[in-house]
Amino acid sequence: MTEIRKFSKTYRAIILILIATVIGGGAGVFAKISLKEIPPITFTLLRFLLAIGILLPFILRENWFRFGNLKQVVLVSLLATANVTIFVFGIGRTTATISQMLYAGVPLIAGIFSYYLLQERLNSRKILGILIGFIGVLVIVLLPVIGEKTVFNGDLLGNLIIFTAVFSFALYSVFSKQFQQDYSPLQLTIFFVLTTTIVQLLLIPFELKESTNWWSTVSPLAIFGLLYVGVLGTGVYYLIYQYAIKVATPVMASMILYLQPISAFAWASLLLDEKITPEFIVGAILAFIGVALVTNFGRLEEVKS
């Protein structure tokens, strides 16, 4: 019976990873569309207000929301908040290519922290899977733009800011596993969403001084993009991510970030008429192989819960 539960957990984790991959890839494309017309901090605040609207009714309906260890949960939530907030400031000083390269390091960092903090066993198969997936992401991101100097023009400060965001998200993934003994994925997600909303409310006055009347020219497509990113790309996506951590491990859940560039390119080919290249196909295959190795090809996986 124990082996059956482990078998079920592995497949549930794979399904959650694939769903989050599709949603997350679309969120990146729609965010790119909306941010052309909506200021970044305002966009972030609105997306999290939409996420609250989606998640809060479930919390209120259940009446089991507990506030034990509130300080610690908020501090962990701030790690994810830092990822969202810091990224907005860092991306303006670097390039999308460099940021994707840095975010491909999340499973590597999560693996190191999981090993030391959660005693998650990283056997040779998992390590090989993480490295192959990482190479796959680099192939997708780098090969199409090699020789174009502009994609590597991000300054050191911008790259350090993005790396700080990456580091924060990896830590959030690992610490979430520990708190799931006392809190459900839904509770942890709503803590993160509420914490991020409060931070954005504190930051929004600084942006309003420079960005005025932007709403008077916003297009229906930008509004739709905001709705998609807020409802699916934030509320649903982070809830699925927490469930993936619960049924599997932070390392396995973070493999979403290896598959997400593949989904983003697929969305971009549909919505932005971007072409799928041979480099993309090779990188996608490597990324899938990496995820398959980390998830043990869907076979029994030793997972602490």
Please give the pLDDT value at position 1: 45
71 within some domain:
yes
How confident is the model over 48-77, as pLDDT tens digits? 999 999 988 877 775 555 666 778 888 899
> What does the pLDDT average to over 290-304?
61
Of the candidates 301, 290, 292, 299, the one whose C-alpha atom is nearest the C-alpha of residue 133 is 290
> What does the pLDDT average to over 163-172?
88
Write the DSSP symbol of residue 120: -
How confident is the model over 128-140, as pLDDT tens digits? 888 888 888 777 7
305 within some domain:
no
Handedness of CA 88, 214, 261, 277 (dihedral sign): negative
Domain residue limits at 273: 2-298
Please give the pLDDT value at position 130: 83
Give percent of the chain above pLDDT 70: 79
Residues 6+ apart with CB under 8 A from 288: 136, 259
Please give the pLDDT value at position 162: 80
How confident is the model over 25-40, as pLDDT tens digits? 888 778 878 888 888 8
Q: Taking the model in full, what pTM does it have?
A: 0.81
Please give the pLDDT value at position 237: 92
145 within some domain:
yes
Instruction: Count up the domains in the chain and report the number.
Output: 1
How confident is the model over 257-277, as pLDDT tens digits? 778 877 877 887 777 666 667
* Alpha carbon distance 168, 84 (integer Å): 10
Q: Is the pLDDT of residue 225 over 60?
A: yes
Please give the pLDDT value at position 253: 83
* Alpha carbon distance 274, 239 (integer Å): 30
* Alpha carbon distance 241, 32 (integer Å): 22
Give the chain's mean pLDDT.
79
> What does the pLDDT average to over 250-262?
81
13 within some domain:
yes
